[in-house]
Structure 1
Amino acid sequence: MKDKQLHRNKKEWVKKSVASALLLNMLCSSVAPVMAYAESGQTTATVSTNAASQSAMKVPSVDSIGLNVSSAVLLDAATGQVLLSKNSDVPLPPASMTKMMTEYIVAEQVKQGKLSWDTMVTTSENASLQTGSKVFLAEGDQHTVKDLYIAMAVGSANDATVALAEYVAGSEQQFVKMMNETAQRMGMKTAYFINATGLSRADMPEKYRPNTDRETVMSAMDAAILAKYIVNDHPDFNQFTTIQSYKFRPRDKAPIVNLDWMLEANKSIPNFKAYAYEGLDGLKTGHTEQAGYCFTGTAVRNGMRLISVVMGTDSEAHRFTETRKVLDYGFNNFEEKQIIAPKSTVKGVEKVAIKKGKETKVPVVTDQAVSFVVPKGTNPTNVTFTTKIDDNVVAPIKAGTKVGTITYTYKVDGTNQTEQRTVNLVAAQDVDKASGFRLFFRSIKNFFVDLFDGVKNLF
């Protein structure tokens, strides 16, 4: 009997031990994330989607499309997401793709009201002495900023480019300083400019060459970054880049013809229709003996704008046929998917604390949509987010006031590539400041709540 009793006691002890262990494990599992949140001030979660998981199409390798270029890159214009890369960080002579920086700076000057498209520019000696592509400006000639800009963007005119650069900065070399500073601000890692045109140093007018033996260089990635700034900061860029021909002077026998054969509008031009590409509306060609034939192109389809760069192709035609391969790779294999709509409530972060307000918490939403470019057929369920909330939100505040940020992270299916997007969390409604009377009684209430919690924790 005694042995049986001991056996029963032992079984009960084992059951209780197992139950205690399971309970402890459950408690630890539930408490750990809360403790992590309290210590870090951030939350991490997985974004759920209602779409059923699908099998994404297998994206072909870059090698499979047989690019005959020195370097190439393909970006999504909205996010900067890299979809294709071949030697894209190698600095190379960019030839007249350099003029994209001149275009950007001049467009910025107009945007900021520092000059207008109707401003008259007088041609200098330096501008008149330029070689290569030009509109044959003579020293003292006067033309509007707009006419010179079109000559630069459409016909790649070196003389028009220098005339604009000197008008903006006083001299070409002062303008070059602006170019290099802007490149640094944009995050262009390899770009270095010695002139506004992309000409080699030896082809510049001798009197106006810089005191350096360096040459202009820019990687395909940097060219794409520059193009991204152009299309996003100046979405009307294509009012110039889509001009097929332009008569610079009434007396000119022939118009300037756009060097971009891939313009969609060229599908009705016999000489160019074989190169015309659906949705393509820019951006800039380039050619020198050192650079070979280059092209930065951009096209939009189904709301997705891509930017392609090819450098070092072996002919005028091949820079466009290689660009077609790059853009086809993007449009055939990828699509844009919205993960979060604008003004969305984030699960787990529906409200944040606010001090001195009539309410103690304010509802928050995202300030804009979040999208990723994904392989076609993909429903990106493997998206996580991390929030960072301002711990000093004080009333009064207006709807739309930033109260934190949320960063979404997406691991691109089938690759080691990880993409991130950060948007603001903003107040969804106004919150007025509470009266002194309300704040006084709230402080008393909080005092007794804290006191009760302190006493309770003693037991």
Structure 2
Amino acid sequence: MSKPAKQKVLLGMMAASLALSIGLNPQTAKAAIDVEASASILVDADSGKILYADNIDDQLPIASMTKMMSEYLILEAIDQGQISEDDEVEISDHVRSLSLQISLSNVPLRQDYSYTVKELYQSVAIYSANASTIALAEHVAGSEANFVQMMNDKAEELGLESYNFVNSSGLNNSDLSGNHPDGTDADAENELTAKSVAQLAYHLLKDYPEVLDTASIPELEFQAGEEEVIEMQNWNWMIPGVNAQHEYEGADGLKTGFTSAAGNSFTGTAVRDNMRLITVVMGAETRDDRFDETAKLFDYGFDNFHEAELLSEGYKPEGEDVVSVTGGKENEVSLSTSSALTAVIKNDEDELYVPEVNLSEDLLNEDGEFVAPLEEGQEVGEVFLAYNGEVEDQYLYSNQSNSTPLVTEQAVEKAGWFTMSMRGIGSFFSGIWTSVSDTVTGWF
């Protein structure tokens, strides 16, 4: 074969390999769908499994998607009894002034009228009211600067991979007329990666699912003053009753965002047949585009994946359902799964998942035996599903997987000294008998 011919064959093989990897790897899944945005991700909300990803590690401005972290901290403060939904919130001069800027998303706030935490929170979650967010931040933490520190601390606690919070609302600091939080730059903007935004949404839904009770309200009145009522229409056009063009079956959250730096962004969530998906679209061209591109992600997820029970409760791993025990009244213990294992998997790929056992090393001796005592129902490991497809499943966090606990079916008490002594004597004579037997056998 000539050198040019060999080069053509090599290039063809490389192209075929690249095409295969693009079709299978969620990091480069553009072969399946083409999402027109700076970054995008699709995640199973229950397991954190990534179903589609594009540029998810690029740190970008997030605009009002910032408010998901503010909502998390507000709901946490309520849950822990630090504040109450019925608390009246003081409106500072800065908040009052900002609330009157109609070019920004706001409800007007007065200093001679009372607003509760619940009322301001509703204006944040439904109408993305920026001044209301700052008022609540000041109420929770004493100042927005303190609240921003809480935001960054919580991001670290939740394991967000890349983040920089500079204010509570998502505005550019330059929009705050010199009242940006102490310790932040005058023109700074909140920035996260698409993966980190998805991680934040994942925890918000896990820890405070009630966030959807408010996020899914299509329209609500806000009493700004004695005779001043603001009609708040939800900026999320995908929930029922807001915008017929973009309404999406099962959509019930979560948070839109726009600044000139961030473009049109949106973190969405929708549920069908008990499968909830999280989407993040960053840097779409227009308001309509952020919902159109989100619809692509939802369609891809609901059309190509399903939730399946791959292992039933009480499943006994074949060949590994009994493990030896040392130092116990019994010499072995039976194992089974404590709960069923369900997973979101691609259609027609059920057979590509194989159960594998992972025992807890801290419970085993160097011979691979459990050491007594063991309690009934004690978790001693896990059964996880190994994927035998072309590309390994990916998750929001490295410690996540399709797995279920493996537990003991009975207790094994620690053997007393007499039992252990008799076993030692038995082993001694057994060893002698085996030696004699082998010697006699060797004579013939």
User: What is the RMSD of the two structures over their aligned residues, measured on CA atoms?
Assistant: 2.9
TM-score, normalising length: structure 1: 0.77
1:425 and 2:406 aligned = yes
Aligned with 1:324 (options 267, 283, 295): 295
Aligned with 1:190 (options 156, 159, 162): 162
Q: Which moved more, 1:323-332 or 1:114-123?
A: 114-123
Question: Could you say which structure has the larger radius of gyration?
Answer: 1
Q: For residue 86 of structure 2, what is the aligned residue in structure 1? A: 118
Aligned with 1:405 (options 373, 382, 385): 382
Q: For residue 197 of structure 2, what is the aligned residue in structure 1? A: 223
Query: Structure 1 residues 455, 257: closer, same or farther in 2, change over 3 A?
Result: farther
Correspondences of 1:248-397 after superposition (within 5 Å): 248-249=222-223, 251-263=227-239, 265-266=240-241, 272-354=243-325, 357-383=328-354, 385-389=356-360, 390-391=363-364, 397=374
1:149 and 2:121 aligned = yes
Would you say the 8 A contact 2:357–2:381 is kept in 1?
A: no
TM-score, normalising length: structure 2: 0.79
Q: Deviations over 1:85-138 (max 9, x none)?
A: 222221111110000011112222333343333333323344334352222223
Aligned residues: 395
Give the Å deviation of 1:397. 4.5
Q: For residue 128 of structure 1, what is the aligned residue in structure 2? A: 96
CA distance in 2, matches of 1:312, 1:166: 30
Would you say the 8 A contact 1:121–1:145 is kept in 2?
A: yes
CA distance in 1, matches of 2:163, 2:250: 28
Give the Å deviation of 1:141. 5.2
Query: Structure 1 residues 113, 441: closer, same or farther in 2, change over 3 A?
Result: farther
| 3-state SS, counterpart of residue 254 of structure 1 | strand
Query: Structure 1 residues 456, 346: closer, same or farther in 2, change over 3 A?
Result: farther
CA distance in 1, matches of 2:265, 2:420: 67
Q: Deviations over 1:398-444 (max 9, x none)?
A: 43322223443214x4x423354344322233445556654554454
Would you say the 8 A contact 1:117–1:145 is kept in 2?
A: yes
Q: Deviations over 1:213-256 (max 9, x none)?
A: 34311122211111111122223321111112222227433322
CA distance in 2, matches of 1:303, 1:242: 17
CA distance in 2, matches of 1:446, 1:145: 73
Q: For residue 89 of structure 1, what is the aligned residue in structure 2? A: 57
| 3-state SS, counterpart of residue 119 of structure 2 | helix
Give the Å deviation of 1:199. 0.7
Give the Å deviation of 1:203. 0.8
Correspondences of 1:201-240 after superposition (within 5 Å): 201-213=173-185, 214-240=188-214
Q: Deviations over 1:145-191 (max 9, x none)?
A: 22222111111111221122222222211211121122223332221
Identity within the alignment, %: 36
Query: Structure 1 residues 450, 306: closer, same or farther in 2, change over 3 A?
Result: farther
CA distance in 1, matches of 2:73, 2:308: 33
CA distance in 2, matches of 1:105, 1:451: 70
Give the Å deviation of 1:356. 5.1
Q: Deviations over 1:3-29 (max 9, x none)?
A: xxxxxxxxxxxxxxxxxxxxxxxxxxx
Gapped regions of structure 2 (runs ≥ 5): 1-22, 395-400
Query: Structure 1 residues 211, 114: closer, same or farther in 2, change over 3 A?
Result: closer
CA distance in 2, matches of 1:370, 1:423: 6
Would you say the 8 A contact 1:106–1:168 is kept in 2?
A: yes
Aligned with 2:134 (options 147, 158, 162): 162
